[in-house]
Amino acid sequence: MLFTFQVACQNKFLTLLFNFHQRIKAFKMKNIILAFLLIFSIKLFAQTEKFYQINGVERKALFFEPKINSEKIPVVFVFHGHGGNAKHASRNLNFHQNFPEALVIYMQGIPGVTNSIVDKEGKYNGWQMNPDELQNRDVKFFDEVFSQISKNYNLDLTRIYAVGHSNGSRFVNVLWKMRPEKFAAFVIVAGPGGNWLKSAPQKSVWISFGKNDKIVPYKIQKFSSKQYLKFFEANENTAQTEGEITVYQTSENKEIIIEDRNAGHEFPQNSIPKMVEFLKRNHR
């Protein structure tokens, strides 16, 4: 009887030991899998910092390589708002995750912009707000990056795009005026255009702004959106509205999309997939 009890205890102990061992193995395997997934995800969305000398000043951009192979590569340039940086923009304006076949480049501004409404002394990163100011330092930065990628990638020159937020969107308008031959379409968020756009060639553009914007007043952005329609002879009679988005056709059959949001100054992350669809269907 005692012997039988000892054997039963021993068997129970061995069973518990075996189960504990299996749990340890499973725990280790789970950690290995999680580690692998972490490494894979880091590799999948790895970023490359590249540096350029422009007018004797170091400039920086973050590159996200295309994750889907294609014969020719579209390019999306992304410009952050005043006080921002390329890394923060890559997290919040994550076009590289929504447009995996594109080369997505997050450009970084530098201090020195003194006509910003939020930084009169120009202490923080920003972009020139008009053509031919600040020695065109930011246009030259774009020119240099574009020159380098043209040499190093097989670009689809009919699918080059620019996206901007706030001060960055104002600079996208500067590029529209000064380098229109490079671009197929633009996305402009929370930043007004300029009167000099009336002499710019027609391009497709997605314009987004918020009714509760505390930085760039809504009425200014609303007026600016009407100017785009006027400058590029958009047909308001055939406009189609769905929710907060209205789509217009210009006299040259370009798209003007106006997203009038019940929101503030932030970039509308939920709209990024639709913005990418808009970019994809517009070629130069």
* CATH 3.80.30.20 matches 51-280: no
Contacts 24+ apart (CB under 8 A), 91-95: 92/267, 92/269, 93/163, 93/165, 93/267, 93/269, 93/272, 94/269, 94/272, 95/163, 95/272, 95/275, 95/276
pLDDT tens sequence across 82-91: 999 999 999 9
pLDDT tens sequence across 123-179: 999 999 999 999 999 999 999 999 999 999 999 999 999 999 999 999 999 999 999
The residues near 21 (Cβ < 8 Å, ≥ 6 apart) are none
Q: Of residues 119 and 55, which shows the higher confidence score?
A: 55
Q: Of residues 15 and 41, which shows the higher confidence score?
A: 15
pLDDT tens sequence across 184-238: 999 999 998 888 899 999 999 999 999 999 999 999 999 999 999 999 999 999 9
- The per-residue pLDDT for 15 is 66
DSSP annotation of 233 reads T
Q: Residue 68 — pLDDT band, cuts 50, 70, 90?
A: confident
